[in-house]
């Protein structure tokens, strides 16, 4: 069993956890309990139909998600309501705001 990161759990598409799809969408919602950090991660192959079935999602420790996609380590402290997309172009990863396409800048 992997050691917890201490940063709580997130809801993650099973397509990401099973290496069927790549992490693409990152949404921060209001946490449902003290262990939930509010982050939701969806894959590039998730459909509305797939996401409608709660059994296609799992709760996963933040540290495990970083192991799958290290780029997310920079987004943890973003505010509630954040909706961003991870782009991978020319072997360079970056985040953009899903609605506007504007690049996310980190301090």
Q: For residues 68 and 79, what is the distance between their CA atoms, to the nearest angstrom?
A: 22
Q: What's residue 6's pLDDT?
A: 83
The domain ranges of the chain are: 9-97
Q: For residues 65 and 28, what is the distance between their CA atoms, to the nearest angstrom?
A: 14
Q: What Rg do the C-alpha atoms of the chain give, in angstroms?
A: 13
Beta carbons within 10 angstroms of residue 58's beta carbon:
16
Q: What's residue 3's pLDDT?
A: 53
* Residues listed for the chain: 107
Measure CA 70 to chain center: 11
pLDDT per residue as tens, the chain (107 positions): 455 678 999 999 999 999 999 999 999 999 999 999 999 999 999 999 999 999 999 999 999 999 999 999 999 999 999 999 999 989 899 999 999 999 998 76
């Amino acid at each position: 069993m992997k050691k917890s990161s201490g940063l709580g759990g997130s809801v993650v598409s099973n397509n990401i956890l099973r290496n069927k799809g790549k992490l693409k969408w990152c949404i921060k919602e209001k946490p449902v309990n003290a262990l939930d950090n509010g982050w939701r991660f969806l894959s590039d192959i998730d459909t509305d139909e797939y996401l409608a079935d709660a059994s296609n999602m799992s709760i996963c420790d933040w540290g495990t998600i970083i192991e799958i996609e290290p780029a997310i380590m920079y987004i943890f402290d973003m505010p509630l309501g954040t909706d961003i997309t991870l782009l991978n172009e020319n072997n360079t990863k970056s985040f953009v705001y899903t609605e506007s396409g504007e690049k996310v800048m980190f301090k």
